[in-house]
Structure 1
Amino acid sequence: MNDDLRRLIRTIPDYPKPGVQFRDISTLLLDGTGFRMTIERLAAAVGPVPNLIAGIEARGFIFGAALAQVMGCGLVLLRKKNKLPGMVTGINYALEYGVDRIEMHSDAVSPGARVVLVDDLIATGGTALAGVELLRSAGAVVDIAAFVIDLPDLGGAGHLRAKGVDVKTLVGFAGD
């Protein structure tokens, strides 16, 4: 499934550390037709138009913005700590070695808004889970998350499903 898109994603071995197979979407973005097909397929997978797409910094901004434009809805940015001006709300989440934080503008999401979370890749799911929790804390309905790539062996999609989120992915890379 989506082998045409899979061929456009470059694998860089041993990056950022030995043993990691980095799935590089920059080669997909270089191919105009491939990028367009990616967005069209994500839109079809998401289904009915949501109120907002929430893109996770930074590669989620690329796919989220394009998806929001195609679907005719708004885009909310989920940013790293201290990147947004004005009033923000945020959530801390655990990393392998430490804690990180994502934030959004406090007035970005109205209670009851249907929001689809978008990023380039789902691995362990830590950032995506934090994004869902942040959006839901503002009253959003987050029942779908869409990713170009799934690394199923790392379990992130399963963690999202356990929280009631339907996970849509286009390409899976098992064993990574």
Structure 2
Amino acid sequence: MNLKDHIRGVPDFPKPGILFYDISTLLRNADAWQVAMGRLAKLVRAHHPDILAGVESRGFLLAAPLALKLGCGFIMLRKRGKLPGPIVALDYDLEYGTDRIEIQADAIQPGQRAVVVDDLLATGGTMAAGIALLRKVGAEVPAAAALIELEFLKGRDRLDVPFEVLVTYDK
């Protein structure tokens, strides 16, 4: 099955000149969703994760069911102010400004193997920040994974771990 057939391109969203890759069309198709999760599970399983770290918010849609399929835990990497209790934060640079990503202080034990999962890798800033945040709290990060990669943005170059992906776009 060609998963690209189930991903819709939405021009000029969220602003003019941007082509948004909408995975809701894949999520609503049970067969395509099963195929995507099966393929992603095979790629991620090879890195022997103890836990999957989903990046807010569409990364949650992939990481949670994938963790269930792999028999491992799931944790959330969230935007500022979204997690209760003690948190650990990391500020990181964006193309135009900065952002912050947070994790609950007790979400992961030092030495646990955490694979970062998001729906899409573009410039790589958020994925790289997620990897750095997990290392900050003592996790080992053997890999990162996404459903989609926009190869032309070269986000993979910002990652210092193996990167697994199912669908790539070169423009």
Establish whether TM, by shorter chain, passes 0.5.
yes
Aligned residues between the structures: 170
For 1:141, the equivalent position in structure 2 comes to 140
* Secondary structure of 1:7's aligned partner: helix
Question: How far 1:135 moved relative to its partner?
Answer: 0.1
For 2:61, what is the secondary structure of its paired residue?
helix
Q: Is the 8 A contact 1:49 1:73 kept in 2?
A: no
Shift of 1:48: 4.7
Counterpart residue identity of residue 93, structure 2: A
Query: Which residue of 2 is the match for residue 26 of structure 1?
Result: 24
1:38-87, Cα deviation, whole Å (9 max, x unpaired): 11111101125411000000000010001000000000100110000100
Shift of the alpha carbon at 1:18?
A: 2.0
* TM-score, with length taken from structure 2: 0.96
CA distance in 1 between partners of 2:169 and 2:47 (Å): 27
Q: Using the alignment, how far apart are the partners of 1:146 and 1:129 within structure 2?
A: 12
Deviation for aligned residue 1:96: 2.4
Question: 1:123 deviation in Å?
Answer: 0.2
Q: Which residue of 1 aligns with 2:149?
A: 150
Structure 2 unaligned spans of 5+: none
What letter corresponds to residue 18 of structure 2 in structure 1?
V
In the alignment, the residues of structure 2 paired with residue 125 and residue 154 of structure 1 have an alpha-carbon distance, to the nearest angstrom, of 8
Partner of 2:42: 44
- C-alpha contact 1:144 1:167 (8 A) present in aligned 2: yes
Q: Distance in 1 between matches of 2:2 and 2:151?
A: 20
Structure 1 unaligned regions, length at least 5: none
- Give CA deviations for 1:78-130 in whole Å, capped at 9, x if unaligned: 01100001000010111222211110110111111111100000000010000
